[in-house]
Amino acid sequence: MSNGWELSAQAWIDSMGERGDWAREHVLDPVMLGRIRAGRFERALDVGCGEGRFCRMLKAAGMSATGIDPTGPLLEVAQQRDPSGDYRPGNAEQLEFAAASFDLVVSYLTLIDIVDFKKAISEMARVLRPGGSLLIANLTGFTSAGADRGWVRDDEGRHLHFPVDRYLDEFPFWFEWEGIRIQNWHRPLAAYMAALLESGLQLTFFAEPGPVSGDAAHQERFRRVPWFVVMEWRRPPVG
């Protein structure tokens, strides 16, 4: 069964541009890039790189970056926009790299796309060098539990509240916006935390970031709902 990415690829490309969507530009990019600058990484793997926007940002930050993605049309655009870049077809659940190949692995809003997220986390941990970091941005379970329904509004269209339901369950849902229709997965935060701990990783950073720029209306709405979580997990050094 298709998860919608092939059919949504062009709409995704059109919506991202170089600056990404509003949430990436004003909420997630600042904290993600802050962690990258603090880490002094040299070789990065972007799992689910899409059209390559964040890979290009990693390279601009001074490191080598490899991007993998299972969606061919997105990889084609990534290579067109960055002809010298290293973009490869691949799945998070079976990474075609030797153990300890990277000192940074990035999962930027990709865990919600992956069916076997436990296998993907295990693979991302495997390819990390000792002392390396897995940097994750993910949709929070508080939001994904009601994302298919979205905001509850009054008769005049004003946002009243964002529903949370079936939080402790795990289930797929279809998410639609701006011509994009893709299947995501809701899982409680505990499911991800357990898988990361079982992979032998150590939590070194945790944030539920809010917007740091952008128009006031967007900022107010993004502060009412806990949309995202950013975590950095470290593979313990040897010895």
pLDDT in tens, 131-141: 999 999 999 99
Tokens of residue 26, six digits = 């004003």
**pLDDT tens sequence across 193-202:** 999 999 999 9
CATH of the domain at 155: 3.40.50.150
pLDDT score for 121: 98
Counted domains in the chain: 1
In a domain, 239, yes or no: no
pLDDT (average), residues 50-74: 96
In a domain, 176, yes or no: yes
**pLDDT tens sequence across 158-201:** 999 999 999 999 999 998 888 999 999 999 999 999 999 999 99
Domain hosting residue 117, numbered range: 5-234
In a domain, 110, yes or no: yes
pLDDT (average), residues 86-103: 97
- CA–CA separation, 43 and 86 (whole Å): 12
pLDDT score for 52: 96
pLDDT score for 233: 98
* CA atoms 105, 111, 114, 120: torsion sign: positive
In a domain, 143, yes or no: yes
| Confidence label for 40 from pLDDT (cuts 50, 70 and 90) | confident
- CA–CA separation, 232 and 206 (whole Å): 7
- Contacts of residues 161-165 at CB distance under 8 Å and 24 or more positions apart, as own/partner, are 162/224, 162/225
What is this structure's pTM? Answer: 0.95
In a domain, 202, yes or no: yes
In a domain, 113, yes or no: yes
